[in-house]
Every structure is written in structure tokens, then in C-alpha cells.
A and B are shown apart, each in its own frame.
Chain A
């Protein structure tokens, strides 16, 4: 089955520093990856859609200069939270869809990254 690996699972950083989160599709090519943010006891909120080899598409209200997304290959997308502040503390989750697959095949999610900015 499709597996998406997300690292790190937990990270604590100081305010003002940057943090990079990696999302890898282990056994399939992912032309599109999605990055979500989830607040405690809430649902997932789409931040951006990442297509391999092109610029990410950000949702309204998401700062593209703060949340840098790179999708350099068909198996790797990264999210960098730049100049992190305590309000950026959250659970970040990536997901991937297989190349050529339609939405109704479902998406595979990473295990998430718990970011705490102190």
C-alpha cells in the first residue's frame, strides 16, 4: 500500500528560528502533495497544494513567505516554517496523491509533525 513518511514527528524550536518538515512518498510517485495544519480538537485546514517542479498554491490567508514549500522531486516535499513564533505551534500534516490517480482513490497522509515554538 501507499506509504507517506513525515519527519520529524515532534520538534521544539526557539522563537525566531526556522524549522523544516519533510514529507516523502516511499513507494509511489506523488505529483501532488498537500500540507495541512490542525489545531487541537479541530479538523484539518489546507494550507497549500504542492506540485512537483512548480510553485505551490497557497490557500487564502496563508503567508507564502512564512511557510515555504518545495516539491523538488516526485517523492519529496518540504515545508519550512520561517522565523517561527509561538502562534505557529500546531500539528502539521502532509498528504500525497498518486500520479495519475483521481481523487476518489483517496489520499495517503503522513503521521504529522507536532511543532512547538517556545
Chain B
């Protein structure tokens, strides 16, 4: 069982559709991060959420941190083929120092 459960694992949608990716845990996190990874590359940080209930927007991407700081979501509006990739949530539980743990990832494919 992973500390961070990410869903869905795979998502294939048409260009223009909206989607939401979820990241859930029973542990409390001081912060959660979302990364995007393309094949053959390392993950690239998209955003960090720190405060419970926080909402951050990055163009068509909206990130939310749960009030209890145990879960987070990523919503993409009007997805484009360029959004295709592996989306990873990650965080360090309150009692785990600075060791980052990753969710299982969501592989997104946006078809033109």
C-alpha cells in the first residue's frame, strides 16, 4: 500500500475535455507537490501547496490542497495534446523529515 494513492492510474481523453486527478492519503503532509514527467526525462515541479484548503492556478491547471492536508487534486481544463505525460503527486509526511514520497502516478494521454 502506497502512502499516497493517486487516481486514476491511466486516463485517455480527447482534446478539449476536462479532467481531475486525485491524490489521497491517511497521513498529514506539511506540503504536497505536483510534478509532470515526460518519457526519458526527470519530473518537473508544477506547484507546491502548503496551506490546508489552498487553491493554486497555473494557466489551465488548478491545484487544491485538502483542508486536513491529507489530499490534493489537479484539475485540467480544456486539455491539449501537450498536456500528455505522467503526473505525480509527492510530499513529505509531517513526521518524515525531508524525505519525499511519490504517488503511483497518473498517465494522461490527450488525443487531438
A residues adjacent to B (C-beta < 8 A): 4, 6, 9, 32, 34, 41-46, 49, 91, 93, 95, 97, 102-112, 114
Contact = CB atoms under 8 A, between A and B. Distances in A.
A32 B98 contact: yes
B33 A106 contact: yes
Given A43-B102, A104-B31, A107-B33, 4 more contacts: A43-B105, A44-B88, A97-B98, A112-B40
A104 B48 contact: yes
Interface in B96-112: 98-105, 107
B92 interface: yes
Contacts of A43: 6, 88, 102-105
Interface of B: 6, 30-31, 33, 35, 40-45, 48, 50, 88, 90-92, 98-105, 107
Nearest to A49: B99
Contacts, number: 64
Given A103-B92, A104-B30, A109 B98 contact: no
Contacts of B98: 32, 97, 102-103
Contacts of B50: 104
A111 B50 CA distance: 26
Given A43-B103, A97-B98, A106 B42 contact: no
Contact of B42 (A42, A45, A93, A104): A93
Contacts of B41: 111-112
Contacts of A95: 42, 100
B92 A112 contact: no
Enumerate the 10 nearest inter-chain pairs by beta-carbon distance, A residue then B residue, closest first: A104-B31, A109-B42, A43-B105, A103-B92, A106-B45, A103-B98, A44-B102, A43-B102, A43-B104, A112-B42
